[in-house]
Chains A and B, each alone.
Chain A
Amino acid sequence: MKVITPEKKELKNLVIPKQKLSARPGLEFLGCTILIVIALEILFSFAGVGEQECLKVDQNLGFSHFENKLVTWRREGFSRSLFNSYGMPDREYSLEKPSGVRRIAVTGDSYVEALQLDRDKNFCRQLEKRLGEKYQVMNFGVQAHNLAQSYLNTDSLIMKFSPDLLIVPFRPEGTFLLPPDLKTGFLSARPNIFVDSDGELIIDRTVQEIWNNSREGKRMKATEWLRKHSRIWGIIAGSMEQFCKWKRDGGLLSSWLHPNEAKEAGMAWTENHSRKESKEENTALVFPNTSQEGEEAIKFSWPVAAGIIEHMKLLCEKNNCRMIIVRMPGVDGHSSNVESELLFETTRSLDIPTLDLTKPFQDHLLNYNDKLFLTTHFSEAGHRLVTEEIASFLMDKRFLAPGN
């Protein structure tokens, strides 16, 4: 047997060819990813998906609408609309009021914003149609805004449009929304307003800042461009929201952590799926009321709400604008008697005209078949009823020019 053993010198000259690292797979990966991203963005823009991201971090208000954003909304109902350059869910308006035109500004939350409906069907647009071309009814609604945020929005934006009348809706249990709550994330990271012993409004931004500096807050801020422009990101953001909720609910162990809820869900599922034919529902209409504990909490927090309403009135007076409050009805006629009484007492003492929609809604629910609510928000019929009621209230209180 012959064995070949190279000498050390020879070994030094021997070079094992190195395997070349090819850039091709990386380029293929990158190219393919870019192509897929473009294709998906085009597909999603046609289908109108991933366009529900409509809120941005706002140092003043906590959060507000993106400006000039096309929003396609598919929760509860469907709408596709472009926010204007001020972030209003409305058409474009000039800051300067056209001559001979009276402006009615409507502030508020998702009940006013009404993304679940086509823009032409919300009560602001319907009211404008009803009042004619001498009136502009401007929608300043932003989902999840509370009374304090509405006040700040009125101060920073609404008054720039020189409205003649400000409509401030007050939703049932709106008092609960006044204190910020970090547990519910972005939508509750808002300024906290309270009234000191001299009746002065104090704006506390502690919670807002804590959230803005949290990991989630920083991510929200850093991805603002993507949230506004990318539909794919809109979908990813929606999924991340669901993931956070899943984590909060206990993740993989949720049924072990909440056995009673799991059992209740199972019972509801059994009822829905296998006993469809057997049970007749109780059709008697009962209007629920706020719980005893809830009413106590409302009484406790009311001075804050009253203080904000008072300052809102002062702000309107300063800007030569009149103001009315609309007591909104709750889902399926839900009402909070204590809150309503406190609200009416406050508005009486401040001499603010107040329209209560609770009774007309309850009467309508008792007498007619059409649904006034989708699941939480007003349906088209609900918006029609609000329009009717506001229009006649404005007429009664002589807010409208003669002839309207």
Chain B
Amino acid sequence: MLYPSISYLIFFPIVLLTYWLSPPGRFRQLVLLAASYFFYMSWIPQYGLLLLVLTTVNYLFGLGIHAWRYKPWARSIFFLGITSNLFCLAYYKYADFFLENFCALLSSLGMQISVFRALESSSQNIILPLAISFFTFEFIHYLYDIHKKADTPIKDPLEFFLFAAFFPSQIAGPIKRYQDFIGKIRQNPSFDSERFNSGLALIIQGLFKKVAIADNLAVIANHGFTQHQSLGGVESWIMVMAFTMQIYFDFSGYTDMGRGSSRMLGIELPKNFNLPYLASDIADFWKRWHISLSSWLKDYLYIPLGGNKCSKSRKEFNLLVTMLLGGLWHGAAWHFVLWGAAHGMGLIIFHRYRDLVKKLTLLQRFHQTVLGKIVSTSSTLIFVAMTWVLFRAETVPQAFSILSQMLFLNQFSSLSALEEVLVSSIAPYSLGLYLVYAMLFTPKLAAFRPVLIDKVRDRILSRPSVRIPCYAGACVAAIGLAAPQTTPFIYFQF
């Protein structure tokens, strides 16, 4: 089930009503669990069983690791738990990729092993379970924290099953931390109209970002990537910037809808984005983009590898490995690995540059000026945008071809290939409307607007007689400005 769908429009109010009308405590948790499984099974019903089995196995591993924490075999159980999760992820997501590359390697060495060929062809029939990367990472975090940090496992099966299946974060995160989530559901949140309203506003904001902005930008980006051979240099940049914006609005819009839904249920989910394209450097970018994944990678990969408490070269190696695996997490294809590698290299270069800046006062002063800040932010954005080419391209050669068009600006002024989609695009209207909304409502931009605007806005919107038509109008605007064809949510594939 997708958030911007009629199914969710019917499903969510039913869940909301049942949840708030149920007696607080376990009954509400049961309602949420049933709703979460219904939500997951509305895609392919059989895969509900996979989620159930994986959750049961991890629940038992968690209890086992904790119960035998002082026994010599505790470590083995922990590794078994982690391996089972990774095996499951590898089977469903990477089997085809690894077997295909392994077979290609064998045939390049002049070897043909029919068993691998047969395995490869059978792996093509595996349907990738929705959100497997997200819940696998949550399970790994759970087992790791119990084993390494000696945290208490979740003893109540209902709570654990709800942690694993909670529908507002099920499909595309944010990747939750169990301590935080369980703490919140144990508080038995009571109905708070203020929180309820802000949750609803967040859902509408997310809906607008996804259907009115991201999907419209997707028309330009998809057209460009399909016809990339006929694009000129400027067109390539337009296409890449369209995708850069698309992926942000797509993912953050989806997260907003999930967070908004959860907030309306009285449970706050962690933030996943913090104006990432305003990042001053690439390290800052990763603190603002997909925050729950980057913090997961830092805590469960980078730090266990040694983090920065080691030699400079080892630290750089750790960074590169973390980003490479982060890239591979996004998808079983070489262009994702390259995307991760590019970010890893970007981080290494940035760290070296930062060391240099520390030594040179002139550079330090330059970066403190307005111009210095503009240069830092725009160069970070350009770097990120260029790496999105590796992410979005369907093959590595396609990515390099587009990058060369962008760098060498072939047929500089040509706009013929994108002309039709640009002329018919609704994106300028939806982006313009969103900009007005962001200027009026985004707390981060409060410094740029007069205080009076905030006061008037809050006073007007505090009245339901004004708020209700405004919300309804925003929904109609989102649906009206929606792209003619819905583009599947990008992070579904991960």
Contact = CB atoms under 8 A, between A and B. Distances in A.
Contacts of A198: none
A267 B6 CA distance: 23
Contacts of B332: 274-275
A251 B473 contact: no
Contact of B43 (A26, A40, A235, A262): A262
B309 interface: no
B394 A32 contact: no
Contacts of B396: 277
Interface stretch (A42-50, A60-68, A176-184, A389-397): A42-50
Interface residues of A, number: 49
A218 interface: no
Interface in A28-85: 28-29, 32-33, 36-37, 39-40, 43-44, 46-50, 74-75, 77-78
Contacts of B481: 47, 49
A119 to B, nearest CB: 14
B130 to A, nearest CB: 8
A259 interface: yes
B105 interface: no
Contacts of B464: 25
Interface string B303-344: 000000000000000000000000000011111000000000
A49 B470 contact: no
A252 interface: yes
A43 B429 contact: yes
A273 B332 CA distance: 10
B41 A255 contact: yes
Contacts of B97: 275, 278
A24 B465 CA distance: 9
B465 A273 contact: no
Nearest to B331: A274
Given A251-B10, A252-B10, A277-B333, A29 B44 contact: no
Contact of A278 (B93, B96, B127, B430): B96
Contacts of A270: 126-128
Given A32-B465, A50-B480, A274 B470 contact: no
Contact of A274 (B46, B128, B466): B128
A242 B6 contact: yes
Interface string A272-299: 0111111100000000000000000000
A47 B213 CA distance: 13
A251 to B, nearest CB: 7
A254 B43 CA distance: 9
Chain B contact residues, majority secondary structure: helix
Contacts, number: 130
A246 interface: yes
B149 interface: no
B152 to A, nearest CB: 36
Contact of A255 (B42, B100, B433, B473): B42
Nearest to A74: B484
Contact of A47 (B429, B465, B493): B429
Nearest to A29: B465
B335 A277 contact: yes
B128 A47 contact: no
B224 to A, nearest CB: 16
Given A43-B433, A49-B426, A275 B96 contact: yes
A32 B426 CA distance: 25
B476 A25 contact: no
A275 B420 CA distance: 30
A256 interface: yes
Contact of A46 (B395, B429, B466): B429
A243 interface: yes
A127 interface: no
Contact of A33 (B11, B469, B477, B488): B469
A266 interface: yes
Contacts of B7: 246, 251-252, 254
Contact of A246 (B6, B426, B429): B6
Contacts of B43: 255, 262, 266
B463 interface: yes
Contacts of A243: 6
Contacts of A242: 6
A190 to B, nearest CB: 26
Given A47-B429, A246-B6, A262 B44 contact: yes
Interface string A71-114: 00011011000000000000000000000000000000000000
Query: Which 3 interchain pairs have the tightest Cβ spacing?
Result: A78-B424, A273-B493, A36-B473
Interface of B: 6-7, 10-11, 41-46, 93, 96-97, 100, 124-128, 331-335, 394-396, 420, 423-424, 426, 429-430, 433, 463-466, 468-470, 472-473, 476-477, 479-481, 484, 488, 492-493
14 contacts: A28-B466, A29-B466, A40-B480, A49-B426, A49-B481, A77-B420, A252-B42, A255-B41, A263-B46, A263-B127, A269-B488, A273-B331, A274-B93, A277-B334
Given A32-B466, A275-B333, A278-B97, 7 more contacts: A48-B426, A74-B424, A235-B479, A242-B6, A255-B45, A273-B488, A275-B97
